[in-house]
A = this chain, B = another copy of it.
Amino acid sequence: MTITITAFESSPDQGRGLARDMRVRWALEEVGQPYVTRLVSFAAMKEPPHLALHPFGQIPTYEQDDLVLFESGAIVLHVAERNVGLLPADADARARAIGWMFAALNTLEPPIVDSEMARLFDRDKPWYDDRRAVLDERVHTRLRELSARLGAAEWLDGDFSAGDLLTVTVLRRLERSGMIEGYRNLANYVARGVARPAYQRAFAAQLAVFESSQAANG
């Protein structure tokens, strides 16, 4: 019966809620499902017991009874399909909401992660400025397109859905870059997402893990 997820023992994002367990926590909070968290170290993630759950040695995983899932998108979809609150009842609207889940992870996230990785790891390279310009333009292309589609709407397609949940978590990765600030409707969209009580509970839960890891190391 109990849902168990995994998360970083010590998150590299310093408790900013950018690790992928945040998506699963948020989804579970939206539908009111309690869960327990098992923390894994970077070393343990690459060891056989965790690789048996997640072949790519990452977090999060999801365990309930005999079911083991990996991939945050798949876990969020599983939670959305088995509970009320994250997918519309109408079949066509439901398919479109799932479409936004894939768009968040396969169209929006890759250029955003590339741009983020370059900022983190390539700053000292002689080609950093050139490359950053190319990568940032790819991100801006997607932001322009997303902003045009969202328009004045509150969420991407009708009520808040798992598609919005993933999109907000992906856009949040741009926070420190300032790139989203030129797209007022997208910045407001992210603000609406993070203001949701379920998001706030999920954020507090992952922050508490980071803070206790700091206390333990201090």
A residues sitting closer than 8 Å to B (CB atoms) are: 51, 55-58, 66-75, 77-78, 92, 95-96, 98-99, 101-103, 105-107, 109-110, 113-114, 125-127, 142, 145-146, 148-149
Q: How far is the CA of A167 from the CA of B67 in the complex (A)?
A: 21
> What is the interface of chain A mostly: helix, strand, loop, or mixed?
helix
- Since A74-B98, A110-B110 are in contact, a sample of 11 more A-B pairs with Cβ atoms closer than 8 Å, ordered by chain A residue number, is A51-B148, A55-B146, A58-B107, A66-B92, A69-B96, A70-B103, A73-B106, A74-B101, A77-B102, A110-B113, A125-B127
Q: Is the CB of B110 within 8 A of A71?
A: no
Tell me the nearest residue of chain B to A78, going by C-beta.
B95
Docked-complex contact B105 and A102, CB < 8 angstroms:
yes
Contacts of A92 in B (CB 8 A): 66-67
Query: Which residues of the other chain, B, contact A96 by a CB distance below 8 angstroms?
Result: 67-69
Do the beta carbons of B127 and A98 come within 8 Å of each other? Answer: no
Asked, given contacts A55-B145, A56-B145, A145-B55, whether A71 binds B106 with beta carbons under 8 Å apart, the answer is yes
Closest Cβ of chain B: how far from A128's Cβ, in Å? 10
Q: Which residue of B lies closest to A103 (CB)?
A: B71
Q: In the complex, which residue of chain B has the Cβ closest to the Cβ of A127?
A: B127
Give the residue among A77, A95, A142, A146 with the most B Cβ atoms within 10 A: A95
- Residue in B closest to A67 when the chains form the complex, CB atoms: B92
Selected from B95, B102, B149, the residue in CB contact (under 8 A) with A55 is B149
Cross-interface CB contact of A102 among B51, B73, B125, B149, cutoff 8 Å: B73
Docked-complex contact B71 and A95, CB < 8 angstroms: no
Contacts of A148 in B (CB 8 A): 51, 55
CB distance from A146 to the nearest CB of B (A): 7
In Å, the complex CA distance between A77 and B149 comes to 23
Q: Which of B51, B77, B145 has a CB less than 8 Å from the CB of A57?
A: B145
Instruction: With A77-B98, A127-B126, A149-B55 as known contacts, state yes or no: A71 contacts B109, CB within 8 Å.
Output: no
**Which residue, A56, A68, A75, has most C-beta atoms of chain B within 10 A?**
A56
